[in-house]
Amino acid sequence: MSTQTTASLPLDDRKPLSKWTLYTRRFMRNKPAVAGIVIFVLLVLFAIFAPLIAKYDHIELDFLNLGTPPSIEHWFGTTASGNDTFAQTAVGLQRSLMIAVSVSVGTTILSAVIGTAAAYFGGWTEKIILMVIHFMMVIPSFLILSLLSNRSGGDWRVIALIMIFVVGWYFPARVIWTTALSLREREYIHAARYMGVRGMRIVMRHLLPNIGSLLVINFTLGIVNAVMAETGLSFIGFGVKIPDVSLGSLIGSGANTITSAPWLFYFPAATLTLLTVSMALVADGLRDALDPTSAAGGRA
C-alpha cells in the first residue's frame, strides 16, 4: 500500500483554517485597511512617546519664542503665549484618543446589551426600549451634548460619560436590535430556553457572541464618531478646556490665527485627519473581512 504525504492530499482533506486565521488573511489582503492600521499605530506611538521627547511641556511657556513658526527649537512652532505646539499636539491627540476609546468601549457594551435584550425579551420590554431609542433619535443630540458638556467644567472624564450614557448608545442599539431579531428564533436559543436557562444568561452567552463581528465594526466606527463629536464640542468651546488640551480645542484656537500663524491650525488638523481616515479604513477592512458574503476580501 502506497503512503500519501500531506502535500499530495486533496484540498478537501487538509486541515481547515480557523475562523480568526481566515479573518486575518482577508483583512491583510485589503491594502488600504493595512495602511490604516499602520497609521493608527504610528499615531498612538506619537501620542505616547512624543511628550517624553519634547523639549517643552505642553503647559510650559517659552517667552523668548512667542508665536514663532516651526524651527529646530520648536518643531511645530509656538503659540502667541509661547506654548510648544508639538507638545500640545501630542497631548491633544493623547486626550482625544482616551476620550474616543473609552466612549467607543462604553457605547459598544451598553448598546449591545440593550439591543440584544430588547430583541430577546420582546413584549413591553422591547416596546419601552424602542420608544426611548426612537425618542432620542429625533432630539438634536449635539445640542444636548453641548449643554451638558458646558456644565462639566472641561473635565474629559465627565464629557466621556455624557457621550456614553446620553447620546452615544441608542443608534448602535437600534442596529443591534435589528440584527438580534433573527438570532432569537434560532434553534440553539429555543433549546437554551427550554432547558431553563435564564433570559439574561441567554443574551450574554448566546446572542452577544454571535454578533461579535458587528460589535467589532461598531467599536471601530465609534472611535471615529467620538473623535468627531469631541472635536466639535471643543471647537465651539464646550469640550476640553485649558490647561487641558485636545485636538478639537487646538483646532478651535488655531482657526482664529490661520492667516497669521497657520501652523497652529494645520498640525492639529492634519493629525485629526490622519486619525479619522485611518480608523475609517480599518473599519472598512474589518467589515469586508468579517462579512462572509463580501468579495472584497478575496479568497482564503
- Dump pLDDT digits (tens) for 190-215: 787 788 778 778 887 777 777 877 88
Residues of the chain with pLDDT > 70, as a percent, come to 89
- pLDDT score recorded for residue 48: 92
Residues of the chain with pLDDT > 90, as a percent, come to 14
- The percent of the chain in helix, strand and coil, each rounded to the nearest 5, is 70, 0, 30
DSSP letters spanning 89-112 = HHHHHHHHHHHHHHHHHHHHHHHH
Average pLDDT over residues 8-26: 64
Q: Which CATH architecture has domain 30-290?
A: Orthogonal Bundle (1.10)
- pLDDT score recorded for residue 2: 46
Alpha-carbon gap, residue 60 to 230, rounded angstroms: 25
Name the grid cell of 154: 472641561
- Tell me which residue of 15, 21, 50 sits closest to 271, measured CA to CA: 50
What is the pTM assigned to this prediction?
A: 0.79
pLDDT tens for residues 128-141? 999 999 888 888 77
- pLDDT score recorded for residue 166: 79
pLDDT tens for residues 255-290? 888 888 899 999 999 999 999 999 889 888 888 777
Domains of the chain by residue range:
30-290
Position 5 pLDDT exceeds 50: no
Rounded to the nearest integer, the mean pLDDT of the chain is 82
Average pLDDT over residues 25-50: 90
